[in-house]
A and B are shown apart, each in its own frame.
Chain A
Amino acid sequence: MKKVYIKEDVCIGCGLCEVYCRLKHSRSKDLVKAYKKETPRPLSRLRVDESGIVSLSVRCQHCDDAPCIGACLTGALSRDPSTSLVIVDEERCIGCGTCTLVCPLGIPKLDTAQKKMVKCDLCQDEEIPVCVANCPNEALLYAEVEEALT
C-alpha cells in the first residue's frame, strides 16, 4: 500500500502542500479563483499544524486499525479492497463528524456547504499525490510500503 511520509525536519511550513491540495479539489483548477471566488470554497484535505519551529503536514494515514471506519454512523467509510485505502462513500456520508471525533489526528474535514466529510485519497487519479509532487523541500515522501518489503 502507498503512503505519504513526512520529513518534518526539512519542512519549513510554507504551506504549498495545502495550496496544491485545495487547487486539486477546486472546480476551476485556478489558484486565484480557488482561493477567492469559488463557492463552495474548495477544501484542502491536508492540514499544516504549526507550533514554534515545528510544522507538520498532516493527512489521513489510512490507519491499519482505522477507528473512523467502525465509528461511522452510516457505513459510509470502508477500506477499499484493491488499494487498502480508507475511503468515503459520498452518497451515504451525512457529514455528521463522528469520524472526526475518533480520528487520532483529527483529520476528517467537514465540508459544511455540501454536508459531507472530505478526506485525503492520495490523489487516486494522479501519478503521485499533488502535495508530494509540489513540495519544494522534498519534505514529503511517497512510498509503496508492503510491496517493497515483500
Chain B
Amino acid sequence: MVATRKIKYLIIGNSAGGIGAAEAIREVDKAGAITIVSDEPYPTYSRPLISEYLAHPYPVEKMVYRQSDFYEKNKIKTLLGEKVIQVNPDKHTVKLENGTTLVWQKLLLATGGTPIFPEMEGNRLKGVFTFNKLDDARAIDGFLNQYRNRVRAVVIGGGLIGVSVTEALLRRGVEVTVVEMKDWVLNTILDEEAADFEAQALVHAGTNIITGHTAEKINSYLPGEVSGVTLDDGRVLSCQMAIIAIGVQSRLEVVAESGIKINRGIVVDRRMATSAPDIYACGDVAEAFDFVYGVNRLTPVWPNAYEGGRVAGLNMAGKPAKYQGGTAMNALKYFGVYIASAGLVTPPDDSYQTLINRYDGIYRKVIIKKGKLAGLVFAGDIEKSGIVYNLMKDGVDVSSFKEALVADDFGLASLPESIWKDRLESSPPEGVPVITSIEKPEELVIGD
C-alpha cells in the first residue's frame, strides 16, 4: 500500500532529536505536513527518567517531555507503535513493518541508540534485561513485582546506564552488584577521582562494585531462569536478574542498505544533512561535529540530540542553520552526588595541561591544549560549570586566566572584562526608562 499524499517532513524518532526538529520546523513553516513515526507506543517522554519510573514507580504523566496538547497544537501527525524497516533515498519513501509505504519530501533520521547485546551464554534467559526505554523499565518492574523476598541483581557495565539502573534497583530494595570491565565506573565520562565520588556513594548505598572484570556467562539452574553470573576469573555471583548495560550503539538498521554514508553512526555535515539529498540525521544515531575533537563523533547525550534536531529542522524547512557542534557532556546527580563533565576527562598525552583544585569536598579540573579548553570535571558543586563549558564551546583562549578557572572563588568576575561584558547585558538600550527602586526600601524584619 502506498500512501499517495506526500508528507512534507517525515521524522523517524519521537524523542529529543525528533521533537527538536519538529519544533524548529514549526518556527519556520506553520503549515507543512509533519509526521513523526516511532516504534515506541508512547507520546514523547524523557528517556533519562526511566530510572525514576523504575524506582518509584513514577507516574508516566510526569515523564512526558511535552504537554499533552503538543502534537495537536503543532499540527503534527503521529504514527506511534509503528516501525520503519527501510529507507529508500532515491524514491523518497520509507517502508513500515505493517506494509505501508510513506512518501516524503524531507526526512529526518532520529532513530537514537540501541543497547549493545553481547553474544553470551544465557543472554536469552528470563530475568535478563537491558535498560534503554520505558518498556524496559516496565518489564523490570513487572519482574520485581513477582518476588516477595529480596532480589539480587548483577548489572553488567558500570557506565551511565548501569549506574542509572543501579540507583533505581537499590531504591526498590534490590541487592546490586555492578561489574565493570575497566578500572573505574563511569570511565567514559569521568576521570578516576570524580568517579570515586560516585563509587563511594554507590558503595555507601549498599552496592557491591567489581572493577577490572567482565561477565562471561549467565547461569541457569531452573530451566529458563537466571540463577547467577560467572565472571572471567571464574567467580560466580548468584542472582535472579542480570541487566546488560555494556553500552549503546547507533540504531542503523533502517539505513543499512540505503547507500547513506555510515561510519559508527550516520555521518552528517554541519547542517545535519546526510550524504543523501533531503535526508538529515541527529541525536544518538548521528556522527556530528564535536568541537573538542574537531571531527565528527558520536556524542550520545540528550542536549546534543535536541540541538542537532533543531538545526536539522531549520534546514529542512529552508532556513539555513549551522550546528555549532557538541561534545560529550553530562550532569549527574546519582545518589545525591553532583558531578558535571564535558569534553576530555583525562588528558590523552602530555601535550595537554591539567589544572586541578580540591577544597571542602569539591573537586574541579580543567584540561587545556594550546590555550584552549579541551575538558572539564566539576564534582561536589557544579554551579558555574556552565561558564567553563561555554568558554570551551566558544574556543576562547584561556591562557591568561586559566588558574582562575579552578580557583575556590571562581566566577564570572574572574574572567577578563571583555568576556564578562559580552555575556552580561550590562546596560539597557539608549532611551529606555529604567527603574532602580520603588519609593523606599522595605523595612527589614530581624529576629522575632
Contact = CB atoms under 8 A, between A and B. Distances in A.
B428 A3 contact: yes
A142 B435 CA distance: 5
Interface in B401-448: 404, 409, 411-414, 417, 420, 423-429, 431-438, 441-442, 444-448
A100 B384 CA distance: 7
Given A74-B49, A148-B431, A56 B424 contact: yes
Contact of B20 (A32, A51, A70, A102): A70
B319 interface: no
Contacts of A138: 436-437
B21 to A, nearest CB: 12
Interface string A92-127: 101111101111111111101001000000000001
A58 interface: yes
**Most chain B Cβ neighbours within 10 Å, of A3, A47, A98:** A98
Given A105-B412, A133-B437, A51 B423 contact: no
B130 to A, nearest CB: 20
Contact of B433 (A33, A136, A143): A143
A75 interface: yes
A33 B227 CA distance: 56
Given A96-B333, A109-B383, A142-B436, A101 B340 contact: yes
A75 B65 contact: yes
B385 interface: yes
Contacts of A73: 46, 48-49, 302-303
- Give the secondary structure class of A's interface: mixed
Interface residues of A, number: 61
A141 interface: yes
A105 B435 contact: no
A7 B417 contact: no
Contacts of B63: 74
B333 A132 contact: no
B411 A51 contact: yes
Contacts of B411: 47, 49-51, 56, 58
Chain B: interface size category: 35 or more
A100 B383 contact: yes
B173 interface: no
Contact of A70 (B303, B404, B426): B303
B382 interface: yes
A80 interface: no
A139 B310 CA distance: 38
A135 B386 contact: no
Given A7-B427, A132-B437, A143-B433, A49 B414 contact: yes
Contacts of B389: 101-102
Interface in A3-29: 3, 5-8, 29
A104 B423 CA distance: 7
Given A70-B303, A101-B382, A145-B432, 14 more contacts: A5-B434, A8-B424, A51-B409, A58-B411, A70-B306, A75-B64, A96-B331, A100-B383, A101-B340, A105-B386, A110-B382, A115-B333, A133-B441, A144-B433
22 contacts: A30-B445, A49-B413, A56-B420, A58-B411, A58-B424, A70-B20, A70-B303, A70-B310, A71-B307, A75-B65, A96-B48, A97-B331, A100-B382, A100-B386, A101-B342, A101-B386, A104-B387, A109-B383, A141-B427, A142-B434, A148-B432, A149-B429
